[in-house]
Amino acid sequence: MCGIAGFLTSGRSNPDRSLLARMCGRLVHRGPDADGYFCAPGAALGHRRLSIIDVAGGHQPLGNEDGSLQIVFNGEIYNYQELRRDLIGKGHQFATRSDTEVLVHLYEEAGERMPEYLNGMFAFALWDARRRELFLARDRFGEKPLYYTFAAPGFPFCFASELKAFAVLPGFDPPLNPRALTDFLALSYIPDPETIYDNVSRLEPGHSLTVSAAGGGRRRRYWMPVFESGTTPSLDAAVEETRALAADAVERRMISDVPLGAFLSGGVDSSAVVACMASSAGPRVNTFSIGFTDKSFDELPYARLVAERYRTHHREQVVTPSIDEVLPVLADHFDEPFGDSSAIPMLYLARMTRRHVTVALSGDGADELFAGYRRYYFGHLEQRIGALLPDWAKRTVVPLSARLYPKLDWMPRVFRAKTLLHNLSQQIGDAYFTSMSTFRDEGLEQVLSPHLRREALDAPPRARFRNRFAAVSHLPPLEQMQAVDLETYLPGDILVKTDRTTMAYSLEGRAPWLDHRLAELACRLPAAYKLNGTSGKHVFRQAVRPYLPPPLLSRPKMGFSVPLASWFRTRLRPLFESQVLDPQMEQYLSLDRVRVLWDEHQSGLHNHDRKLWNLFMLAVWDTRWRRAGSSEALAEQGVAAQ
């Protein structure tokens, strides 16, 4: 795992190497082991290295035989050995054992189609001196980040693994992106390709970008999930194919020249990873778990069942999450507002794991691909019920019932019919947005400052979400939800959380269930193979059932959680009041409305913990990156801030 950064220069001037070094200096946590730079007329590429494969020889930037191609690469290519053998057979000469060098020679063979041949997680930039073009690509699901801008003063084009690398560019002060800010408040993350800054983008998963030194760029989508099924295999055949691909995906991700382990939560997905690892020949598997003093959030007993069954070298830590301890890390490593509070326990897990290994496998991706989330079941059910209702009822009776039904936050979820009634009256895109969002519609409009309300709500988050569903409207309801999650929630929330929390401690995370071969199989399977009654991931569960303790297969899904509701009434109270209720936040928020939410939460009238957390993380980001931004830029240039 590494950090990359670079830029193109106008004409044939020599790039400023010291500026490139300062950009990479912001990425040291991604690559603490070494740095490297390539500077030539027209282009500058920088690299921070976390040594994983070919520790002695895999330094970057790395070129081909004559040096006309140079690459900086972040990630791992799991089929690089097969590709290397094929390229050697075609006459290519290799100077290292690294997977990075395979990319250079594969580009010579396949050009812009090169990413199609890769099984891995990656973000890279390759300078082609002959064509005077920079070729960038990002992996199929967006495991690795890649930001870029055409709007940095004095530079035709800049790229980096993280936004913070752009902060050192002279005069770089992009305006806020109002659309992204409202997306964040609504969804708790910012979907690709938007970022919190105008004129700065994330390269979307499964895309490449070619930028000419003469100006201009072209994007190309080289991969997308295809849900249309051909001949449907029998359930038994699907289970066997899933099992075989799962085992191979895990084995490929165990390639490493440094210590390796696995996160073990006690859920099906991470436990299945550990089971597959233990089945491979090799030393005892290192596993890592965290528990909580609050037993309602604690999964350690289930993790121990797996550790004991496979006799792993198991380490665990019981923590009492402290906002004072993690808040500086969240502020420094999430360069954009990010509202998934499970990043807090993930930070504790990553920190503990990094004390013992450099690489950790996770269970990310199985829920999205095999329909493991409860919201898929409810969304699927709502669409089936809605199809039975006459249009006049959906237009009149159901919306009226939804308005009149009390909002019973204090009752168990099974009794909360208000959202169900709303969703029955809506198309699937609107219904799914309602289920997924934190702030929505009137609530979002009320909390925004008048300025942002005017700028952002001509195309509100719901409308943008609706457009994503319109693009996949030919698919059945379940597949529509999965397709939208694969381009929004998975890369924007889950994978951002994993990448930033692991990289905060220079730990490489790998996700076997995001192997594209396994994903392509999952997309071909019918809904009945994924949702079985009220249970999701049916075919996946059947595939791993023989390897897991029975209690794991029947337990409800828990997930990482922290007690936000009580925190806002105790330890977070003074922080919220000083940061969110600060007059400077009026540029974003209607503080009068925020105070209403705050008072309702303090009184216990309503639980607004998710809304308050999003508002709090917006203020944390603003304090760390907007208010401090100009002072930091001056400091980077050696000028004392006034």
Residue of 192, 162, 161 lying closest to 177 (CA atoms) = 192
Six-digit token pair at 230?
A: 């051909």
Six-digit token pair at 300?
A: 């350690």
628 CB contacts (<8 Å, ≥6 apart)? none
Residue of 484, 466, 273, 473 lying closest to 375 (CA atoms) = 484
Residue of 379, 507, 391 lying closest to 435 (CA atoms) = 379
Q: Contact 480/313 with Cβ under 8 angstroms?
A: no
In sequence order, the β-bridge partners of residue 316 are 289
CA 368 and chain centroid, separation: 12
CA 221 and chain centroid, separation: 19
Residues 398, 402, 403, 409: what is their CA dihedral angle, to the nearest 10 degrees?
A: 180
Taking 3-state DSSP, the helix, strand and coil percentages for the chain, each rounded to the nearest 5, stand at: 50, 15, 35
Q: Contact 160/147 with Cβ under 8 angstroms?
A: yes
Buried b (16+ CB within 10 A) or exposed e, 539-560: bbbbbbeebbeeebeeeeeeeb
Q: Which residue has the tokens 């997309």?
A: 523
Six-digit token pair at 219?
A: 């994007």
Mode of pairing for the β-strands spanning 313-319 and 200-202:
unpaired
CA pair distance 582, 159, nearest whole angstrom: 34
Six-digit token pair at 69?
A: 């191609």
Six-digit token pair at 120?
A: 């891995």
For the chain, what is the radius of gyration of the CA atoms? 25
Q: Which letter does DSSP use for residue 169 in this model?
A: S
Q: Contact 608/601 with Cβ under 8 angstroms?
A: yes
Interior CA angle at 407 toward 404 and 413, to 5°?
125
Supply φ then ψ for residue 192, to 5 degrees.
-60, 150
Q: Which letter does DSSP use for residue 195 in this model?
A: -
DSSP string, 563-602: -HHHHTTTTTHHHHHHHTSSGGGGGTB-HHHHHHHHHHHH
Residue of 318, 340, 350, 414 lying closest to 564 (CA atoms) = 340
The residues annotated with a catalytic role in the active site are 2
For residue 461, whether the previous peptide bond is cis, meaning omega lies within 30 degrees of 0, is no
CA pair distance 556, 577, nearest whole angstrom: 36
50 CB contacts (<8 Å, ≥6 apart)? 1, 2, 30, 31, 32, 33, 358, 506, 508
CA 108 and chain centroid, separation: 31
Supply φ then ψ for residue 45, to 5 degrees.
-125, 130
For residue 193, whether the previous peptide bond is cis, meaning omega lies within 30 degrees of 0, is yes
- Residue type, position 333, single letter: H
Mode of pairing for the β-strands spanning 133-138 and 120-128:
antiparallel
In sequence order, the β-bridge partners of residue 43 are 8, 40
